[in-house]
Amino acid sequence: MTPEMTPVATPFFFYLLSGLAIIGGVLVITRRNAVHSALALIVTLLAVSGLYLMLYAPFVAGVQIIVYAGGIMVLFLFVIMLVNIERTVKERQFNRIWPAGVLAAAALLGLFVSVYVKGKTLLSDPVTGKPLWPDPTISLPDSSNTQQIGVMLYGNYMFAFEIASLLLLVAILGAVIMAKKRI
């Protein structure tokens, strides 16, 4: 009934949001104070949520905001406040093997880049000749996105859904028991 939302200024928003996300990510891993890191992470999460909206995944975007930004990050902030940080702020921030870590991460980045480059040019499907990363041709109706995800969650992914619920239950119990004062 409603017309599909037509994306506006897509490139602009994409670069804005991804820029925010990456800057946030950089801040997360560089700040001394964990609270600042957490705030930066929130920025990243919200930016990623915006990217989901651009990808016609409003439900995932909503879940991202509610669960991540509203739930998990509050938990993080809570914990950061509980464990005192005055000492850790003054200490060395990186461990002794950080060059190795950065090197490994750089190798990983190189891997990604090379795969993407290859995927764009070489790795096309030999049979159909289609590239590995086709441009999105089939448009998803985002007006019924939530309904469809619901149908899939309760249909195809029934087991996974149930197991996820069980996982959450176990996590709750585990977290409660571990965070208890006296075990």
CA 62 remoteness from chain centre: 13
Of 65, 71, 60, nearest to 152 by C-alpha is 60
Residue 124 C-beta: closest distance to other proteins, Å: 14
Residue 127 C-beta: closest distance to other proteins, Å: 17
Please, are residues 64 and 52 in contact by the beta-carbon 8 Å criterion?
Answer: yes
Residue 92 C-beta: closest distance to other proteins, Å: 7
Residue 125 C-beta: closest distance to other proteins, Å: 13
Burial 174-183 (b: 16+ CB within 10 A, else e): eeeeeeeeee
CB nearer to other proteins: give 83 or 127.
83
Q: Is 127 in the site for other proteins (CB under 8 A)?
A: no
Q: Is 16 in the site for other proteins (CB under 8 A)?
A: no
Name the burial class of residue 47, with classes exposed (0-12), middle (13-18) and buried (19+) by CB atoms within 10 angstroms of its CB.
Answer: buried
In whole angstroms, what is the distance from residue 117 CA to residue 123 CA? 9
The 142-181 contact track toward other proteins, x by CB under 8 A, reads: xxxxxxxx--xx-xxxxxx---x--xx-xxx-xxxxxx-x
The most distant pair of C-alpha atoms in the chain lies apart, rounded to whole Å, by: 63
Residue 13 C-beta: closest distance to other proteins, Å: 9
Please, are residues 61 and 52 in contact by the beta-carbon 8 Å criterion?
Answer: yes
CB nearer to other proteins: give 125 or 147.
147
Phi, psi dihedral angles at 181 (to 5 degrees): -70, -50
The interface with other proteins within residues 95-114 (CB under 8 A) comprises: 95-98, 100-102, 104-109, 111-114
The 26-65 contact track toward other proteins, x by CB under 8 A, reads: x-xx-x-xxxxxxx-xx-xx--x--xx-xxxxxxxxxxxx
Q: Is 121 in the site for other proteins (CB under 8 A)?
A: no
